[in-house]
Copies of this chain bind each other. A is one copy, B any other.
Amino acid sequence: MIKGLLSVLLVLVAVSSSLGKPEKNIAKRGKRIPQTLSRGWGDQLIWAQTYEEGLYWARMQNKPLMVIFHLEDCPHSLAMKKSFAEDKDIQKVADEDLIVLNLVYETTDKHLSPDGQYVPRIIFVDPSMTVRADITGRYSNRMYAYEPSDIKLLLSNMDKAKKLLKTEL
């Protein structure tokens, strides 16, 4: 038998320390509502399931990938989600011009946490597969965090991400 020891122990430690109450602890019995990929961030958007899928679509469609890290029981995440889902301009740009992915678990790619793992955190990735560390919010200690009052800044950052890196070269 081949034993393939997986090299994500460090990440698991990081993830477990950054997580709140596990969703799995909710009632195991009774009729469940099927889980959605949107998780309330826009049921009408087409969400990538995984980072690998998001990168695939970003390259195939030559669109930037927007990765939203959040947690279901984090009040800042919930407030940002509400603003994001209700803003028609945000939803339109997300639908037409971006590949979108929302995650409640960290990935193994450290490029997605340039200044640490926290939520909510929004990272753009160019279709050239370059993390856009230059597209930031307004908080110097958590550069990729946004609050509901930053929704216009987020929209402008989404537009900024649309100016692909290769057209700048």
Contacts and interface: CB of A to CB of B under 8 A. Distances in A.
B55 A12 contact: yes
A98 B131 CA distance: 35
Given A4-B131, A12-B59, A43 B34 contact: yes
Number of copies: 2
Given A130-B4, A130-B5, A51 B50 contact: yes
Interface in A96-138: 96, 103-109, 111, 114, 125, 129-134
18 contacts: A2-B114, A2-B133, A6-B111, A6-B129, A6-B131, A8-B129, A12-B59, A15-B56, A24-B60, A24-B61, A34-B37, A35-B49, A36-B37, A49-B104, A50-B107, A53-B104, A56-B105, A108-B108
Interface of A: 1-6, 8-9, 11-12, 15-16, 22-24, 28, 31-32, 34-38, 43-44, 46-47, 49-53, 55-57, 59-61, 95-96, 103-109, 111, 114, 125, 129-134
